[in-house]
Amino acid sequence: MQDKGKFIFVTGSARSGKSFFAEKLAVKLGGKVSYIATCVPGDEEMRIRVAQHQARRPAEWLTVEEAFDPARVIKELDQPGHVFLLDCMTLLVSNLLLRTDMPLDEEQILARISELARVSSESAATVIVVSNEVGGGIVPADSLSRSYRDILGRANQVLASYADEAYITIAGIPVELKALTKGI
């Protein structure tokens, strides 16, 4: 049996510093880093965001673009000492929800997220998964946006439940959540 790595979940609102924190954490952990990118840029603004993320990453990191099945990447490249940084769950859920070639309902999407959480928690590598918290604002006006918000909220709960460590970033400051809930 392989050594078990660590599964770290990082969440926060937009521009809270979650990706930057996750990247610093991956550097600190050392070893070979594989960055799993879930973004499929559809416009110029998103291409600029992707370029900004790429510019921050060390050149030696392997970037794997995987819009639908990051669990497969982790299984294929898994080994002790390896670090996977998946950024981000928010876009993965969006990709799965809006997929036209293979439509998935909420139950099927959450089953895929549960599989990702299980694979991440059983990995010999360290796996860091980044996600947004999107449910803290107003209730969206349309059913697709409400469904997305609900699925992502449930997905985040699944991921956090499997994670060894769970962080929320607020104003660039990471707070470890599981340590705060020990004994509850």
Catalytic residues: 53
| Residue 138 DSSP label | P
Whole-angstrom distance, CA of residue 75 vs CA of residue 79: 9
Quick one: tokens of 120? 């991440």
Whole-angstrom distance, CA of residue 97 vs CA of residue 145: 10
Measured in degrees and rounded to the nearest 5, phi and psi for residue 14 equal -60, 135
- Per DSSP, the three-state class of 31 is coil
Residue whose entry in the numeric block shows the structure tokens 């594989």:
34
Longest distance between any two alpha carbons in the chain, whole Å: 49
Contacts of 95 (CB under 8 A, 6+ apart): 38, 40, 67, 68
The full length of the chain comes to 184
Whole-angstrom distance, CA of residue 40 vs CA of residue 62: 17
